[in-house]
Amino acid sequence: MSKLILVVEDQEDNRRILRDLLTNSGYEVIEAVNGLDGVSSAETYRPDLILMDIQLPGIDGYEATRQIKANPDLNKIPIIAVTSYALSGDDQKAFVAGCDDYVTKPFSPRELLAKIRDYLP
């Protein structure tokens, strides 16, 4: 049974790239377009991994991560933050919010895939 990955991303193109990349690699992908949507999708689908964009409309990625990690049923799900490059402290903020790892945008699909495989062997 293939693993389920939740992609929380407001950008259509980015969602599509991730979807194409991950689907092609054999993962099942569900998508959310904002923070609140991301939290409810996590509760509904209980994915095996979450790719969390940080800059999102409504509640941002940090807040969404905090809410998900606050849920005992969901706090085991690895969350990889997708942060903007060089905005100082973004990585730190991501870890503080509860993210397990992070990649900076723009990411190389190949590198991202490698990172995902670390969590979903």
- The Cα–Cα gap between 64 and 48 comes to 16
Binder of another protein out of 59, 78, 109, 119 (CB under 8 A): 109
Residue partners of 51: CB distance under 8 A and separation at least 6: 5, 6, 7, 8, 9, 18, 80, 82, 112, 116
Binder of another protein out of 40, 46, 71, 105 (CB under 8 A): 105
Residues of span 33-62 touching another protein by CB under 8 A: 55
User: Does 110 interact with another protein (rule: CB under 8 A)?
Assistant: yes
Binder of another protein out of 44, 106, 118, 120 (CB under 8 A): 106
User: Does 101 interact with another protein (rule: CB under 8 A)?
Assistant: no
Q: How far is the CB of 63 from another protein (least distance, A)?
A: 18
* From 32-40, 73-81, 93-101, 108-116, span contacting another protein (CB under 8 A): 108-116
Query: 105-114: long-range contacts at Cβ-Cβ below 8 A with a sequence spacing of 24 or more?
Result: 107/82, 109/17, 109/21, 112/18, 112/21, 112/51, 113/21, 113/22, 113/25
- Which residues here bind another protein, judged by CB under 8 A? 11, 13-14, 17, 20-21, 24, 55, 84-89, 105-110
